[in-house]
Structure 1
Amino acid sequence: MRTQLISAFFALLISVSANAAEPLSLWQDSPARTAIIKFVTATTTSGSPDYLPPAQRVAVFDNDGTLWSEQPMYFQGFFLFDRLRELAPQHPEWATQEPYASALKGDYKKVLAGGEKSVTTLLMATHAGMTADEFSAIVDRWIHTASHPTLKHHYNELVYAPMLEVMTYLRANGYKTFIVSGGGVEFMRVFAEETYGVPPEQVIGSSIKTRFEMRDGKPVIERLPEIDFIDDGPGKPVGIARYIGRKPVIAFGNSDGDLQMLQYTTGGNGPHLGLIVHHTDAVREFIYDRQSPVGKLDKALDAAPANGWILIDMKTDWKKIYPFQ
């Protein structure tokens, strides 16, 4: 499966190179495609009033709902519950303790009803108490073996082919692409390079606290059961400033969690571009926005016209959604 994913990624890479005169071949001739090409051309053409030197060509992408699917639950949530079931035999007390009992029964609504405390308890039980290398190995195994409950494909296959094409197109034109997501940074870094072509040092996400230790003469990074940073909402611009140190000029999001990142990217002078992936295709993917408990798009949807943010209509803008379609 990993070989198939790599082959699909390089097929997109070859497609962009072979069709340089007509980029973004997986996109319909839509306002979104036109805006992306026009912006890239303007910012990379020497002598253009909007020309940007390569160092300033920074593009940021949300992950969940922007680069891969996120319904009916964030994919890291599926990992959490799978990991919980895997650990359950070592913790018989979980059968009667909440929120473990509800989670093991698959009653996700009850778990979520417990709020942040409930989710954090489960997160620490499944993501902490091990070294960084041990956690990475667990995620790597899961991402290449677990399958989505309804789409019946491995989670790293449920990436948006048109967005992979955009990332490749931007990099071919001197842009550096970063993932800025509310998901766990250590979780995403395991597969980001293989899946998106984004190296781990260009992935920004939420994190738990860690510490350095020497164990049996070997250096390790221990994952601690305590939240360190939440890279969502107003945390995204903070994360960008802290870890990139340069204001992006392009931002792709899909939900209200990306509102502040879009505002930060497109505010002020100079060329900038903000785009929102709008989930409008109930047949090939999912349809949702304002009322969805996952990937809610409400405030950002209302703010888009006044800010010049472009809506990417999945149903009409994309010729296909997943690489395997």
Structure 2
Amino acid sequence: MEALSIKEICQAVGGTLKKGDKDSVARGISTDTRSIAAGDIFFALKGDRFNGHSYAGSAAASGAGALVVSEKVDLPKDWPGAVIMVDDTRWALGELAGYYRSKFNVKVIAVTGSVGKTSTKEMIASVLEKKWRVLKNEMNYNNEIGVPLTLFRLDRSHQIVVLEMAMRGIGEIRRLAAIAKPSVGVITNIGLSHIERLGSQGAIADAKSELLAELPPDGTVILNAEDCYYIVLRDRFNGNKVSFGSCQGADVIGTRIKCNAAGKCTFTLLVEGGAIEVRLPVPGTHNVYNALAAAAVARHMGVDLYVIRDGLQGFKLPSMRMELT
């Protein structure tokens, strides 16, 4: 992370400096005292089963240069760092991440949907890494904590950011998109994940389509032409739309799909002006659709079909992760 002054941080998060030098700087972000580095800003996050304020003293003793808190904390008497008071530390983390992201002229691609998010995100990154320096979120860093922490890894070498965005309820995708400011949005599909929280598939579609509302007017959305909510989502966005699927009429088509005994599929990628055979290294016809979504993003960005093929064929799922639905 590039250095940020304490004054700058206070302004970004709407906080009040309770202690410390406003001209001092921080060069890292931490939400976990087990991995804190000297000079980091420690955000004392609160959850249903934890309260980071209980570890503020430990963070200070471990070398934190500043603390962002929402309640009074006990600190070592001789600790020279800064204390910034905010109303909500989790919200403040997102505010600072959004401010930090705005310092970089990068294209952000946001990926959401009921299933296939991780594979699609990884496939997009695998293709785009052939041409650009790409930052992506790792592991399960896809929520209101993980997305900000990913953005803090931005440096001047990055040209593209690919972010998976997850949600459990209304408003969460909108918040993540407001922080990351994507210009390209991908919605893989609308399924039944989290229906116990949202009540209906239509409500899930509403939650996922929050991404569309945060795209700029000249932004682009990538949609599954075979999804039952395709028309609903398409009609909610007035910008550029690119569709994918195995059906005629999609902008990016997968045809002649064949799977071997191990379940690994070969298909013909068909776009305006060309076609190419792709052999996926992971099993499942569902991954053909994930690959089509990635190809749609790449074609939108002007990537050659041969580069797309090589990126998809070189794709690897993160360790310990295999999506089967």
More helix by share: 1
Q: Tell which has more relative contact order, 1 or 2 (C-alpha 8 A, sep 6+).
A: 1
TM-score normalised to structure 1 length: 0.26
TM-score normalised to structure 2 length: 0.26
More strand by share: 2
